[in-house]
């Protein structure tokens, strides 16, 4: 009786292991370079930028039933604090210990098909009160939770990182307010570097 119980227990363990391996191999995640923002320098002001870069991945599902993705995790690499949030569809989250955890997703992928999933990335401000100019950032998918045929599954893929983005200071901002003075106009010219440090101030008057 004990021998039969041991054999049954071993069968259950082997079957469960086989099932988990099959599920883990049923999804292929590939970086879509054509739809992703290419590796480049991106100008960001002191207020940062929202949804200004896209990291696109193709999710290929090779099973006979549909799947629905409910959760995703992205690993953030590069300069700490450069990425402030990642958005996929209507779900958005900020990094905690270099990981962005998106929940509440409802992304359906038909059986034996591929779906493109875009992640939109927001960045911190660059300048004297933000991250340094030249900061870099990349993301990659490291976790997928999905349901297929009524069964919930979790995988931990090793996807290719998105193209590296280098964040640089925005161009100087020039503010030219005017004030009427008699029959002329008095011009005030303030020049700021990245919106924080005043470089010089110019005042001049001109007749109309």
Instruction: With a cut of 70, say whether residue 204 has pLDDT above it.
Output: no
Under the banding of pLDDT at 50, 70 and 90, the label for residue 110 is very high
At residue 5 the predicted structure's pLDDT band, cuts being 50, 70 and 90, is: very low
pLDDT at 207 over 70: no
Least confident of 14-23, 46-55, 89-98: 14-23
Is 13 strand, coil or helix?
helix
Three-state SS for 36-98 is CCCCEEEEECCCCEEEEEEEEEEEEECCCCCEEEEEEEEEEEECCCCEEEEEECCEEECCECC
8-22, 65-79, 171-185, range with the lowest pLDDT: 8-22
Q: Is residue 161 predicted with pLDDT exceeding 80?
A: yes
What's residue 177's pLDDT? 57
pLDDT confidence bin for 17, thresholds 50/70/90: very low
Region 93-115: mean pLDDT is 96
Residue 128: predicted pLDDT? 82
Confidence of residue 190 (pLDDT cuts 50, 70, 90): low
Model pLDDT for residues 19-36, shown as the tens digit of each residue: 333 344 478 999 999 999
- Model confidence pTM above 0.85: no
């Amino acid at each position: 009786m004990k021998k039969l119980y041991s054999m049954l227990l071993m069968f259950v363990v082997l079957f469960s292991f086989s099932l988990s391996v099959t599920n883990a191999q049923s999804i292929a995640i590939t970086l879509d370079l054509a739809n992703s923002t290419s590796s480049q320098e991106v100008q960001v002001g002191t207020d940062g930028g929202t949804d200004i870069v896209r990291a696109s991945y193709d999710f290929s599902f090779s099973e006979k039933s549909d799947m629905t993705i409910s959760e995703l995790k992205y690993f953030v690499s590069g300069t700490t604090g450069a990425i402030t949030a990642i958005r996929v569809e209507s779900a958005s989250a900020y990094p905690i210990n270099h990981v962005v955890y998106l929940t509440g997703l409802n992304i359906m992928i038909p059986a034996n098909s591929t779906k493109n999933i875009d992640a939109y990335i927001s960045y911190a401000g660059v300048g004297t009160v933000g991250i340094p100019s030249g900061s870099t950032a990349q993301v990659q998918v490291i976790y997928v939770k999905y349901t297929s045929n009524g069964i919930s599954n979790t995988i931990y893929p090793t996807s290719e990182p998105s193209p590296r983005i280098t964040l640089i200071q925005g161009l100087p901002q020039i503010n030219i307010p005017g004030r009427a003075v008699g029959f002329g106009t008095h011009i005030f010219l303030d020049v700021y570097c990245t919106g924080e440090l005043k470089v010089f101030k110019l005042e001049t008057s001109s007749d109309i």
